[in-house]
């Protein structure tokens, strides 16, 4: 069959709304085989790599996967937690908290999380939501700055899945929020909170994930959105142009990427006599390999070896209350017009049901 089987339909059934928080993805385990599967899926995405397929197939299969999988697995192992991959752990917590924060604002919505590569996959999450009766979906990418390599790839996965679906739900897509006031304010407070306990640096480095320069020349707006985020954050912090610098990390291959590159930047700062720097990664809303290992371990070592004395990594926004309120505000703006708001009588009924449930739970506990 061309189309997936539809769940049983019942007339008069009330439609439901869900938000899907989509992040990049992570291997299932910090092992060579798991990382190889993950990299194979990630690096075969046409949005991520635009090299002609046959040439790239040879490079990927004969060079990158055999040599990079083991190296990356060791890096993942250095930041893996008892609960699993930090990126997956943070994204799952963010989704659960976002549901609560939207509920406080009066929205009756479900929030699920999905990964573009790895598990839980976008198709599996969309299938589950359909089976559970959700017919209005808001796709919220975990990337504040839009890029064809990230946000557009998420959209591709959504559209590709629905090519197999007969009854497609109503969809809304959040393209970006790089200049959203609540997002910038959350970044500002995270920096100030760090400075309140650790003091201020001589230079604040804002490191964003890199991108091949060719993508910028072909019209990808990512570079400009990164710089706008940095400028707005610097203004909120009252920083002069001499007090911060924007850089780009995670370069892959020999092609020219967006510059300046983060590692050489921090080395040069140390050589110039800068003794303390703080590094923040505004393009990531959850800590992951690129922040916990690449920045907090590798880039730190580069700075210290070049003569630096004090290196501070400012964690991602993760589950901070100010950020979760901001994310709820961003989502709410895109939910406008959908029947998600509970009436006063509905909220009162929910409170009564919650009280009855707690009373019943206490009674059953007492009986046992």
Cα(223)–Cα(211) distance, integer angstroms: 8
Secondary structure element (H or E) that encloses residue 191, with its range: helix 181-198
- Give the Cβ contact number of residue 192 at 10 Å: 12
Burial of 69 (0-12, 13-18, 19+ CB in 10 A): buried
The three-class DSSP label of residue 60 is helix
Map tokens 């999905």 to a residue.
114
User: CA–CA separation, 270 vs 200, rounded Å?
Assistant: 16
Question: Which residue shows structure tokens 């019943």?
Answer: 360
3-state SS string over 300-355?
HHHHHHCCCCEEEEECCCCCCHHHHHHHHHHHHHHHCCCCCECCHHHHHHHHHHHH
DSSP state of 298: I
- Torsion 29-35-39-40 (CA) sign: negative
Neighbouring residues of 351: CB distance < 8 A, sequence distance ≥ 6: none
Tokens coding 191? 């920096």
Take residue 322 and report the two structure tokens written for it. Answer: 């100010």
- The token pair at 35 is 């990382």
Rounded to whole angstroms, how far apart are CA atoms 30 and 35? 7
Distance CA 171, CA 342 (A): 21
Give φ, ψ of 27 to 5 degrees: -65, 160
Is 209 marked as binding a ligand?
yes
Neighbour-count burial for 5-33, b at 16+ CB within 10 Å, e otherwise = eeeeeeeeeeebbbbbbbbbbbbebbebe
Q: Binding-site residues, please?
A: 209, 290
Q: Binding-site residues for Fe(2+), please?
A: 209, 290
């Amino acid at each position: 069959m061309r189309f997936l089987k539809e769940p049983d339909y019942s007339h008069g059934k009330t439609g439901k709304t869900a938000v899907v928080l989509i992040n990049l993805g992570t291997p299932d385990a910090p092992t060579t085989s798991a990382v190889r599967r993950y990299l194979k899926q990630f690096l075969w995405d046409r949005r991520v790599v635009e090299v002609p397929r046959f040439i790239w197939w040879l490079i990927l299969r004969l060079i990158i996967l055999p040599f990079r999988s083991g190296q990356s697995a060791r890096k993942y192992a250095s930041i893996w937690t008892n609960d699993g991959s930090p990126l997956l752990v943070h994204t799952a917590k963010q989704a659960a908290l976002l549901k609560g924060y939207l509920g406080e604002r009066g929205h009756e919505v479900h929030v699920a999380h999905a990964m573009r590569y790895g598990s839980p996959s976008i198709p599996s999450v969309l299938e589950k939501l359909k089976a559970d009766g959700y017919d209005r979906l808001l796709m919220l990418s975990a990337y504040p700055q839009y890029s064809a390599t990230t946000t557009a790839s998420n959209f591709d996965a959504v559209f590709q899945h629905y090519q197999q679906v007969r009854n497609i739900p109503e969809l809304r897509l959040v393209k970006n929020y790089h200049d959203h006031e609540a997002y910038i304010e959350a970044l500002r407070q995270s920096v100030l909170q760090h400075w309140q306990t650790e003091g201020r640096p001589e230079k604040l480095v804002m490191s964003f994930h890199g991108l091949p320069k060719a993508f910028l020349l072909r019209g990808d707006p990512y570079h400009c959105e990164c710089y706008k985020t940095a400028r707005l954050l610097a203004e909120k912090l009252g920083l002069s142009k001499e007090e911060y610098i924007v850089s780009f990390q995670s370069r892959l291959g020999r092609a020219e990427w967006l510059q300046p590159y983060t590692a050489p930047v921090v080395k040069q700062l140390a050589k110039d006599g800068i003794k303390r720097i703080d590094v923040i990664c505004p393009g990531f809303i959850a800590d992951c390999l690129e922040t916990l290992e690449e920045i907090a371990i590798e880039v730190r070592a580069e700075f210290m070896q070049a003569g630096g004395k004090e290196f501070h990594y400012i964690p991602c926004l993760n589950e901070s209350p100010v950020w979760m309120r901001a994310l709820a505000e961003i989502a709410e703006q895109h939910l406008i017009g959908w029947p998600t708001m509970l009436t006063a009588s509905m909220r009162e009924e929910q409170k009564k049901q919650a009280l009855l449930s707690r009373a019943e739970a206490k009674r059953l506990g007492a009986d046992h």
